[in-house]
Every structure is written in C-alpha cells, then in structure tokens.
Structure 1
Amino acid sequence: LVAEAEAEKANAFFTTSTHNAYLTPARDDLPPTHVLNRQITSTKGCITTDQVPSVSALHTIYDSDSFRRFLAAIVAEDALYEYADPLSSINVHFADEGQELGWHFDNSSFAVTLLLQAPRKGGQFQYVRDLRDADAGDMNYQGVGDVLDGDIAPCNLAINPGTLVLFRGRNSIHRVTPTIGPLTRILVVLAYNNAPGISLSEAARMTFFGRLG
C-alpha cells in the first residue's frame, strides 16, 4: 500500500490553507484575538477515491460489508454508506517535511484512519478530549484558546504503520504536528456517512481536492 500511494503521489493535490479551530468563517464583529478569528495553518497533499487504483486493497477494505458492519457497531450507527461524489470516500494524505494538520474540530461525528507510513520524527497525533459540546452549543472558546496558547497539554496517540484508528473528533480538538525529516507521513482516511446519497459540499471539495469530480 505504501508503494501504491507513493506511485500516485505525483497526482496529489497539495494545498496550504488557514482556518480557525472550528472550520468556520472568520467573524468581522469580533476582535482579531478572538478564537474564531485566530487562523491556523494546515498543509498536506491528497489523492482521492477516483485516483486510488481500482485493484487496490483499500477499495476491498472500504467496500467490505463485514468491515462496515464492524465500524457501524462500534460507532452505534444502523449502517454506513459511501459518499455519493467520486472523490470523498477514500483519501490518501501526504505530509512532507514541515507539513502539518492544524488544531481543529471535525464536522463529522467520527473518522476512520489507517496509517501507512510514519515519519522518522514529528507527525504526532495530538488531541484534547471533549473540549466542547457542539450539540449543546457549548463552543468553549476559552478552553480552545488555552489549547492554542499551549496552556493545556494535549494527549499523544502513539500510532504505528498499520494502525487503524476510529476517532470522534467533533468535540475533541486535534492536530498532527509537522513532519520532521525526509520520510513522508502517509495516512488513509476512510470516510462514511450514516445515510445514503450524501456528497461532500462543492466548497469543501474545491478546498481539499482542487476539483469537483
């Protein structure tokens, strides 16, 4: 899988973006120092579902009924479904030296990742559990600001290549620290929905993939 990913890396869409921890637009009615206006940098490359070779084991894993039932049981969903658009179901992320994923909350309720290759240093997955309660409308701006300022020590999740991780990032802020050294961090994201027929928004596809399909 590593060789397969590296063979497709030249086709990856690399982007550097800035965002706040909530992945929401900045607020002109708030001061620049407010956590909603504090910009965080994320840099990575990505190949999409349609760029993953059709014979790849990643498709076999993703499409497996038993694997989906296994995931659904863990996350307490009746069933899981692929994205309706051709880009968003399987993504392979590349983080070269100096690239990172900045602090943020996920919009989705859970994420499934598979680490293919770890860098020699850096590329550490860090998180602070249950820092907000999005469903209750508790955004905890003070707590998020403390994380950004380094006043709250995050947890570190030790991940070795081949590790499958299910993570609930909607309320737990998280990041991946910059890659150190020439060995690229390669991570697969397997994305599912709890209902059929859902596509990632066009704006998100343009931001993350540079195209709609």
Structure 2
Amino acid sequence: MKLEEIIDLNRYLIMDDAFKEQSRQRVANKGALAMPGFLTEAALNAIREEGEQKQDQAFFSRQLHNVYLTEKNPEYPDDHAFNRQVESSKGCITDDIVGKESKLRVLYNSTLFKDFLSYVFGEDALYPYADPLSSINLHYAKTGQELGWHFDNSSFAITLMIQPTEKGGQFEYIKEVRDADAGEMNFDAVNDVLDGKVTPKQLSMDAGALVLFRGRNAIHRVTPNEGERTRMLVVLAYNSQPNIALSESARMTFYGKLVE
C-alpha cells in the first residue's frame, strides 16, 4: 500500500525540508498543530469502518484522577490542587486488535511519516512500544463521556480525528501551566483551571485531521460528548528510546488486560 493512498501528500509535503521546518516552528511556538484533511477520504473511510466494526471489542472504563495522573498525596488535603479529582471515561481498542493490513498500521510504520514526526518533535528517532497493546489505540467517547483535565506524562502526542461529535467533545488546552522538568507544578494555576477561572484555547479537529501536541506542560481536556454520535480518535504512540513498554499497572487501568 502506497503512503499517498493514506496521506494527502499533495497538501502535506511531509518529505519537504521547508514544510518540516514550518511544522516544527508551529508546534514549538503554539504547542499544538492541527492538519485538517491529512488523511485521504478513502483512508478515513476505511479507518472509520474498522473502528465501527471493532467497537464491540473496546474496553470501556471510567476513572477519577488528579491532573498529574498520579496517586493522591496524603500530605495534602483532598481539596488541594494535587489531590482534586476529575473524571475521564472512554473506550479503547488496542494495537493487537488493529488489523495487520490496516491503513493505521501502514501509516504508523512508515519511515517517511516517522522521519517527519522526529524532526517536528526534535527527536533522533521514534520507536514503537515494546508491549503488544500500546502503539496504536483507537478511542471511543459515547454520549456523556469525556477526558478530564490532565498533563501528559510523555512529551508529545500524535492523534488522528476519525469521527468528531455532533456537539461537545471539544479539545481544550492551556499551554505552559507547569514546568515538569524543573518540578514546578504550579498549584495556583491548576486550581484556577479547575475552578473555571481561565479561558482555554480550543483546537478544532475535523474528521481526517492529524494533530501534533505537546501536553507534558500544557493542561488539557476533552469536554463531554453532548451528541448521539460516538467520537473516534486514534492515538499513535511512539517512544524516543527503544524497548520501552507501558507498565503493567497502566495497561490494566487503560486496557483491562496485559497481553493480546
């Protein structure tokens, strides 16, 4: 299968040095970059169909968590920014369920695509997860489901919007709220976000869009799905080092299983 059957390479010249540099600068300056119409119509339809056919194999979960995605700290009261709880609920099919000939797998394994991502995110190379579940995930958000405010543990995220909601399901973010490397958690700013005192930026994601995002220091969420149509979003997860697996506890939490 040729990459031009999956990516609109006439619109997105991911092999072109000038385009790569422009994309890198936009991610560096804004923290996020949305590329509408990145997928060809044929690829989008095929991925959507695969998602619809396999939705009954998804693991659905509802979790309460803090914005740092850690356990509570008993040294702080429950109403402290570190311990305040938000809700996330979604369904997910894992890499082992994605078809071996899926267009998602062809895209994920493409050297040209990985070279583009590596340049944009300033990584020497990108590697798949060492466990059999985490590299390609397709997330479902039915009516009322949402992702609560949080920071990512990884320094970058790559997603594909397959099917947006009719209403709600909006991606919202506020960049540079914390400095994870310096250990600055910025509790006051987190409280302001959770109390609705800060107006977040919104990132539009139409069907077929590729979104590149730096979420380690940017707090972000997806608002509840207020429509009848299920939101479908693909997460393409890479590591900057080889032979890294998602922890067993995280796999049980997110996927409800450890192996295929």
Q: TM-score range by the shorter chain?
A: over 0.9
Aligned CA-pair RMSD: 0.5
Q: In structure 1, what is the Cα distance between the partners aligned to 2:48 and 2:74?
A: 44
One-letter amino acid of the counterpart of residue 140, structure 1: N
Query: Shift of the alpha carbon at 1:135?
Result: 0.3
Shift of 1:152: 0.7
Higher-Rg member (1/2): 2
Corresponding residue for residue 235 of structure 2:
189
99, 108, 122: which one pairs with 1:53? 99
- Which residue of structure 2 aligns with residue 167 of structure 1? 213
Corresponding residue of 1:116: 162
Partner of 2:248: 202
Q: Name the % identity.
A: 57
1:136 and 2:182 matched? yes
1:84 aligns with 2:121: no
Cα separation, 1, equivalents of 2:75 and 2:176: 27
**Cα distance in 2, alignment partners of residues 193 and 29 from structure 1:** 33
Number of the residue aligned with 1:25: 71
Distance between the aligned counterparts of 1:125 and 1:191, measured in 2? Answer: 18
Q: Give the TM-score normalised by structure 1.
A: 0.99
Where is the strand percentage greater, Structure 1 or Structure 2? 1
CA distance in 1, matches of 2:195, 2:242: 40
Say yes or no: does 1:4 pair with 2:45: no
Quick one: distance in 2 between partners of 1:181 and 1:161? 16
Alignment partners' CA distance in 2, 1:30 and 1:119: 37
Post-superposition offset of 1:177 = 0.3
Query: 2:252, 2:210 → 1: CA distance?
Result: 27
Structure 2 CA distance for aligned equivalents of residues 137 and 30 of structure 1: 17
- 1:122 match: secondary structure: coil
Farther off after superposition, 21-30 or 110-119? 21-30
Q: TM-score, normalised by structure 2?
A: 0.81
Aligned to 1:102: 148
Question: Structure 2: which 5+ runs fail to align?
Answer: 1-46
Which stretch shifts more, 28-37 or 166-175?
Answer: 28-37
Q: 1:99: Cα distance to partner?
A: 0.1
2:86 counterpart residue number: 40
Aligned residues: 213
